[in-house]
Amino acid sequence: MRRDFTIKVYLELLDALQQSGYAFQTYAASVKNPLQKSAVLRHDVDRSNQRSLLMARIQKERNISGSYYFRIVPQSWDPAIIKEVSNLGHEVGYHYEDVDIIRRKGNYQREEMLDEAFRHFVVHLQKLRKLAPVETICSHGSPLSPLDNKIIWTKHSYKSLGVIAEPYLDTDFSTVAYLTDAGRRWNGRAVIIRDHATGNALCYPYIRSTRQLIHAVRSGNLPDHLLLNFHPQRWYNELLPWMRELLFQGIKNLIKRILLKVRPIK
Ligand SMILES: [Zn+2]
């Protein structure tokens, strides 16, 4: 059996996209000037920022630019890596989780918490902008949190800060196919708590493995605009870390299935 979520399979996916005529755009470029047929490679740097750097270098070798969203936590945030990813020609964005961080700090009333989270967000955005230009942001799912980090925008505005878009809030999912490797599968709706497309979203339940995704790309079964989401810590050629990720994800998926059953999602 050939393993999925290896760098080798990842390269096959890039080949399929290139050979099928998809141009690669950063998320910001796709918002400002969408090309006729394009794929956005969005990377959520949840942890293992070294794996993100590896993907950023692989893309650079192929003249591909992607978007990399960094969290404020130490397992993601590394100024040298953030700068290098940006210098390689990729977009850097903020993978924010300020609502969850503030929620864990104390007992706030909702309004007060949103204000505090926004202040927190502004500080981190400024900190990131000292390392790289930032035009877009993307929420972290914080699956263990009862609150969605995006609720900050029920009271405040990111556009007032010069942020042009947030993929979950500014994408027309009825025309852009959004596929994510969350849950270590491409059709993981049952194990995704928040990081899914909303509204009348295009849906591809038959695409589970990366090879099935490659086949769909090569067969022309996907629309001209793709938003593909990667968690770089998941992709390994080496057997041991690959198995560690496989086991870790199996446990995470089990917990997420339970959470989705017992907890109303806000
Ligand atoms: Zn995340």
pLDDT in tens, 43-64: 999 988 899 999 999 999 999 9
Task: Tell me the whole-structure pTM to 2 decimals.
Answer: 0.91
For residue 94, report the distance from its CA to the centre of ligand 1, in Å.
Answer: 10
99: CA distance to ligand 1 center in Å?
Answer: 14
Q: Are 69 and 57 in contact (CB under 8 A)?
A: no
User: In this predicted structure, which of 18-32, 173-187, 216-230 has the lowest mean pLDDT?
Assistant: 173-187
CB atoms < 10 A from the CB of 95, how many?
23
Residue 228 alpha carbon to ligand 1 centre in Å? 14
User: What is the CA 204 to chain-centroid distance, rounded?
Assistant: 18
CA of 139 to the centre of ligand 1 (A): 7
**Residue 76 C-alpha to ligand 1 middle, in angstroms?**
10
Residue owning tokens 């900190």: 127
Cα(137) to centroid of ligand 1, in Å?
11
Q: How far is CA 116 from the centre of its chain?
A: 25
Distance of CA 219 from the midpoint of ligand 1 (Å): 30
Pick left, alpha or beta for residue 17 (phi over 0 → left; psi -120 to 50 → alpha; otherwise beta): alpha
DSSP assignment of 49-103: HHHHHHHHHHHHHTT---EEEE-SSTTT--HHHHHHHHHTT-EEEEEE-HHHHHH
pLDDT at site 194: 67
